[in-house]
Amino acid sequence: MATTGVSINAINSSKPFDVEAIRKDFPILHQKVNGYPLVYFDNAATSQKPSVVIDAISNYYKLYNSNIHRGLHYLSEKATEEYEAAREKCRAFINASSTNEINFTKGTTEGINLVASSYGRKFLQPGDEVIISTMEHHSNIVPWQMVCDERGAKLRIIPIDDAGNIIMDEYKQLLNERTKIVSVVYVSNSLGTINPVKDIIAHAHEVGAVVMLDGAQAAPHMAVDVQALDCDFYACSSHKIFGPTGMGILFGKERLLEQMNPYQGGGEMIKEVTFEKTTYNQLPYKFEAGTPDISGGIAMGVAIDYINSIGYDKIAQHEHDLLVYGTEVLSQIEGFKIIGQAEEKASVISFLVDGIHPYDMGVLLDKQGIAIRTGHHCCQPLMDRFAIPGTCRASFAFYNTKEEIDKLAKGIEKVKEMLA
Amino acid sequence: MTINDIQNDIIEEFDLFEEPMERYDYLIDIGKKLPELDERYKIVENVVKGCQSTVWLHGYEKDGKVYFEADSNTVITKGIVGLLVRVLSGHEPQEILDAELYFIDKIELRSHLSSQRSNGLNAMLKQIKLYALGLSQQAKQA
């Protein structure tokens, strides 16, 4: 930790969970918006950053900014050391077996595109099938549509029930010898549903398909063990786990990554270049063309340290308390309806209030200092499934409090009053 | 009244409210009072794209002047289109084309709208001016 020039003050995993101490680590939370203390409930879109993460970025540029790998001088070696240390933190974070399996990306979207492009293009044959679910984010729909179109493969969709659960029997019926790839979201961004991915993976493997998990919304809330899940690919984003934007992790099993072609060509990903032929660099650099976001990678590692310093067990418990409390308090509002009521759910409440358009709700809550998200949440097919144009979504992080949920409830009542 | 007279009136009305919430209350009130657009004009051709909400804008020409009627499925947007209709409806096409809408910034509407939603506002304005242009050209041809 000393090497990145930052340290974590307020919390220690051995200490009890203290939300007030944690909130002090997040400078952005302590401001007024439209004259009201900010209530930030848009965590599923992006999370806020603790000071240690912000300082790590600043320290990189102040103290050791330099291009990584191949540099012989002190700064380059230092930057390389920190960047590769972050890769090891990411490996441990998802329990991959080797850093060769950790590819740095721009985020979850790029991770999925990389797999669709480098694995899908190489292995999908005409008539093959790719399975996704109804609750996917556009970033786990469109890349597969593109590669299926190109390869003459077919995209098949797992239906969901009214509560927002994947219908497992329907999924099993979709699987067959033509299924080559299953790509599903671990935790739904708009419903909060935590999918039974271990079962999904096991069934896919029975027919010889590989499984990609979109972990964008799982990573902020729960410990993920890619070996225990036995998933083949897993992607998540730094900015959802309290790290900077523009950075992410793509895990792939080493034997699969070895078989895949590079995603992009350029510097870093090569071993030898002649005009006749280029040989590619070893993993993980094969998939990392060009100068990466070095400070972003290092700061993502610091964000992981920060999460670990609190502990996922405590994070999950606090967020579960917020979800239970929020569901109870908000459900008392007349005309309040929750979209997505799966039993296994992350701390996301997607809702509608009778007679109020989500847009009006979003604007008028913002005027009261409350940040939520409204719209289709990049899940248009899912909104079609529920026959709604969109929802209001309040998503909680470990730095949120029950008092803030009370403010949301009060804010919604105020909006109802204004629009009555 | 000229377009600028109406803009100045609106600025004065909004100046009465200091709190942003009061301004929104007023905007909501304007939205609620805007007459509903006849269903026959709520057609795809009249939809203005660019915001989370849907706006329908219907324009017509009468005695050399251009008139607008509009509606939205959200109350706040309805208030905004209500203001635009109040300012720009009932003028000659050239006046509409030449209009510089300073009232939006003065009543702090644009600053209260995100860029995505501001684009929606811009899309509405663009549509209004296109109508004026089209109708003025039709009038010239006739």
pLDDT surpassing 90 at residue A65: yes
* DSSP secondary structure code for residue B52 in this structure: S
Pick the residue of B17, B21, B23, B77 with the most A CBs within 10 A to test the interface with A by mutation. Answer: B21
Mean pLDDT, chain A, rounded, equals 94
Give the minimum alpha-carbon distance from B137 to chain A in angstroms, rounded to a whole number.
Answer: 36
pLDDT surpassing 80 at residue B117: no
What is the reported pLDDT for A211? Answer: 98
Percent of chain A beyond pLDDT 70?
Answer: 97
Amino acid B1 reads M
Q: What is the interface pTM, i.e. ipTM, of the complex?
A: 0.88
* DSSP secondary structure code for residue B122 in this structure: H
What is the reported pLDDT for A409? Answer: 98
Identify the weakest region by mean pLDDT among A86-90, A143-147, A250-254, B44-48: B44-48
B119 Cβ under 8 Å from any chain A Cβ: no
B116 Cβ under 8 Å from any chain A Cβ: no
Would you say domain B3-141 falls under CATH 3.20.20.10?
Answer: no
What is the reported pLDDT for A419? Answer: 94
Q: How do the domains of chain B map onto residue ranges?
A: 3-141
Q: Could you tell me the two tokens for A76?
A: 């380059």
Superfamily of domain A9-50+311-419: Aspartate Aminotransferase, domain 1 (3.90.1150.10)
pLDDT surpassing 60 at residue B113: no
Contacts of B76 in chain A (CB under 8 A): 359-360, 363-364
Return the sign of the alpha-carbon dihedral for residues A57, A62, A67, A73: negative
CB atoms within 10 A of CB A384: 12
Alpha helices (runs of H) in A25-98, residue ranges in sequence order: 51-59, 74-94
Angle among Cα A160, B52, B107 to the nearest 5 degrees reads 150
Give the minimum alpha-carbon distance from A391 to chain B in angstroms, rounded to a whole number.
Answer: 11
Give the minimum alpha-carbon distance from A376 to chain B in angstroms, rounded to a whole number.
Answer: 9
Rounded Cα–Cα distance for residues B11 and B2 (Å): 14
The residue with tokens 């299924």 is A179
Q: How do the domains of chain A map onto residue ranges?
A: 9-50+311-419, 57-308
Q: Could you tell me the two tokens for A53?
A: 């993460």
Rounded Cα–Cα distance for residues A124 and A251 (Å): 20
Class of domain A57-308: alpha beta
pLDDT surpassing 60 at residue A365: yes
> Exposed/middle/buried for A182, CB within 10 Å: 0-12, 13-18, 19+?
buried
* Whether the domain at A9-50+311-419 and the domain at A57-308 fall into the same CATH topology: no
Which residues neighbour A291 within 8 Å (Cβ) at sequence distance 6 or greater? Answer: A67, A68, A267, A268
What string of DSSP letters covers B123-139? HHHHHHHHHHHHHHHHH
What is the reported pLDDT for A7? Answer: 43
pLDDT surpassing 80 at residue A360: yes
E-strand stretches of A314-375: 336-338, 348-353, 370-371, 373-375
What is the reported pLDDT for A5? Answer: 46
Residue of higher predicted confidence among B136 and B75 = B75
